[in-house]
A and B are shown apart, each in its own frame.
Chain A
Amino acid sequence: MADFEQVATIDEIAPGGRKSIVVDDVPALLLRVGDDFFAIEDVCTHDGQPLTDGPLEGTEITCPRHGARFDVCTGRALCMPATEPVATFDVEVRDNAIYAKPKT
C-alpha cells in the first residue's frame, strides 16, 4: 500500500487556492478550503479531462467544460452530467508540510 508522500507546504497555498500534485502516479488537485486541505483526482469522471481550473465554491468544484460539480471532501458527484464520484485522497498536515496518499 502506498505511503503518505509530501505534496506541498502550507504556505504554498492560500485559502481558496490550489496546487496540481501527483500522488501514487495519479495527477491530483490539492485544494485549500479555509484551513482544511482536500485532494481529489484531477480528472472529471464525466469526460475524463482535467478539473484543474474549475471554479471552487465552498467545498464544491465545478468542471470547467460541462458544469459537472463534485464535493471535494467526499468526491461525490453533485449534478449531471457526472454520475460517478471522483477519487479522493487521504490528506494529513504535519507542521508546515502537507502529505497525501490514496484512500485505503
Chain B
Amino acid sequence: MSSTSAGTEPAMVTGFDAAAFERFVESRDDPGWVVDARRTAFEKFQEQQSVPLDPEEWKRIELRTFQPQKYGVRPSSDAAVQFDTLLQDRAQFAGHVSHTDGACQQASLDAALAEQGVLFGDLNTLVRDHQELLKPHLQRASAQAADRFAAWHAAFWTGGTVLYVPRNVVISEPLHSLIGLSEPNAADLSHTLVILEDGAAATLLEETASAQRDVAGLHVGSVELLVGREANLRYVQLQNWNEKVYHFARQSGHVEKDAFLQWTVGGLGGKLAHVHQTVDLDGRGAAAEVNGVTFAVDRQVISYYTQQSHNAPNTRSDLLYKEVLRDRSRVIWRGMIRVEPEAQQTDGYQRSDALLLTSSCRNDAIPGLEIEADDVKCTHGATAGRVDEEQIFYCMCRGLTEYEAMHMIVEGFFQRVYDRIPVEVVRETLSQAVERKLGIGD
C-alpha cells in the first residue's frame, strides 16, 4: 500500500511498493546506470519479501510491530533544520557534509584538500561527476544485496556522504558528516562511502540526529569503508536518533595489505537499531580495531551482528564492545571471527561486556569462532552483570549520592573503550552523551 500525506509540500509518498518506487525514480535525476542498478535491486527487494530473514541474525529482533509502509522518502527537503548535534561545533573540521531526510543540505571541504584531489561531498552529486569511481561500488551493492534490507537500501538509497582520498594524501584534521531526520515518518536511506587509496590517511566522524524528540523515522543505511594498502582510516559513527526511530544498517570495511582501520560505533538512540557490521581483512598484515559504546534505556532494542573476516595471513582484528542497559531495554550482540584456510598467523580478538543497571533489562551476547587455518591465535568472550551494590555503598560512604556513584561506575565501565578511541572530541562527546542519558549533567 502507498498513500500520500496531506499538508506539507512537496507531499511525501509513503510505502516502498512498485508504485512508490516508480515515483521515487521519476522524482530524481539519476544517471541511467544508477536507475538500472536501482531496478535490479528493487526486483531483488520484491523477491526477498517472501524469503525469511536469516534466523541467526534476526530471530532476536522484534519486527512484528515494524510497519515499513508508514514511512516514505521525501522528494526534497527544506533547508535550515537545526539539529542538537553531539559533534558538529566541538572541533575544527576540514570539511562538513549534512543530510536531512535523505537530502543533502550542505557540503564543504577545505580548499587545500580539494586541490590535492580529495573528494568529500554528497553521493547524488558525485555519482554524476565521478561515475568512474563510484559506479563499481554501487553496482556491486545492487548485485550482491544479501537480504531484504540490503536490497531495500540498494533500490531506494537517497544519498549519503562520500569521502575519497587519493594516494599518499594524509588529512590530519577530522571530517564531519551529519545524517538528520526531521519530518514525521521520513525515511533516510543514506549510503556512506569512504575510499582511501594506498598510503592515504583520514578521520571521518559521522553522527545521526533527530530534529525533534517525538517524531518517528526510519533509517535503512549502508556504510562501506575501503582502505587501500598501507592506508589508515579512523571512522566513527555515533547513532543518536530519538527513541522513535528504526535504524537498520549494513556496514562493511575492507582493509588491504598493511592498512589499518579503526572503527568506533556509538549506539545511543533509536527505538530499534540493528547494525550488521563486517570487517574484511583482505591483505597480508591488515589490521582493524573495532570499538563499540552502547547505552540503552526505556524500551530501546539495540542489536549488533558483527563479523571479523580474516582472509589473508598475518592479519589482526580486535573488537571491544561495552554496553550499559537500563529499564526494559535490550541489547543483543552476536559476534563472529571467521578465519579462512590461507589466513595463517591470524590474531583475532573479540569481547563484549554488558552492565545491567536494572533487573528488567536483558542482554544477549553470542560470541563465535569459525577457524579453518591451523596456526592462529583467536580469543573471544563476553560478560554480563549487575552493578555491585558494595561499590555503590562504598562511594556513598565517601559522600557521593547514589546517582553520582552510579555515574562514576558507568563511566569507569566505559573507560576501557574510551581509552582506545584516539580522537579526543569523540571521547568527550560520548562521555557527555552518557551523562545526559543517565539524567545528570547538562
Contact = CB atoms under 8 A, between A and B. Distances in A.
A43 to B, nearest CB: 8
Contact of B59 (A25, A42, A49): A49
Given A48-B60, A49-B59, A25 B65 contact: yes
Interface string A18-35: 001010011100000000
Interface string A69-100: 00000000000000000000000000000000
B398 interface: no
A49 B332 CA distance: 14
A27 B64 contact: yes
Determine the main DSSP class of B at the interface with A: loop
Chain A, interface residues (CB within 8 Å), range: 10 to 19
Nearest to B332: A48
Interface string B23-61: 000000000000000000000000000000000000110
A25 B362 CA distance: 18
A43 B65 CA distance: 13
Nearest to B330: A48
Interface residues of B, number: 7
Contacts of B62: 27, 43
Nearest to A45: B362
Contact of B362 (A22, A26, A48): A48
A27 B59 contact: no
Contacts of B65: 22, 25-27
A60 B64 CA distance: 24
Contacts of B435: none
Interface string A37-68: 00000110000111000000000000000000
Contacts of A26: 65
User: Which interface residue of B59, B62, B362, B364 has the most chain A CB atoms within 10 A?
Assistant: B62
B210 to A, nearest CB: 18
Nearest to A49: B59
Contacts of B362: 48
Contacts of A27: 62, 64-65
A22 to B, nearest CB: 6
A25 B246 CA distance: 13
A27 B272 CA distance: 14
Interface in B55-95: 59-60, 62, 64-65
B64 A48 contact: no
A50 B59 CA distance: 10
A48 B65 CA distance: 15
A22 B364 CA distance: 24
Interface in B186-214: none
A45 to B, nearest CB: 9
A27 B362 CA distance: 17
Contacts of A42: 64
A48 B334 CA distance: 15
A86 to B, nearest CB: 13
B435 to A, nearest CB: 28
User: Which interface residue of A26, A42, A43, A48 has the most chain B CB atoms within 10 A?
Assistant: A48
Interface string B359-390: 00010100000000000000000000000000
Nearest to B64: A27
Contacts of A43: 62
A47 to B, nearest CB: 9
A19 to B, nearest CB: 13
Contacts of B64: 20, 22, 27, 42, 50
User: Which interface residue of B60, B64, B65 has the most chain A CB atoms within 10 A?
Assistant: B64
Given A22-B65, A48-B60, A48-B364, 12 more contacts: A20-B64, A22-B64, A25-B65, A26-B65, A27-B62, A27-B64, A27-B65, A42-B64, A43-B62, A48-B362, A49-B59, A50-B64
Interface of A: 20, 22, 25-27, 42-43, 48-50
15 contacts: A20-B64, A22-B64, A22-B65, A25-B65, A26-B65, A27-B62, A27-B64, A27-B65, A42-B64, A43-B62, A48-B60, A48-B362, A48-B364, A49-B59, A50-B64
CB-CB nearest 3 A-B residue pairs:
A27-B64, A25-B65, A22-B65
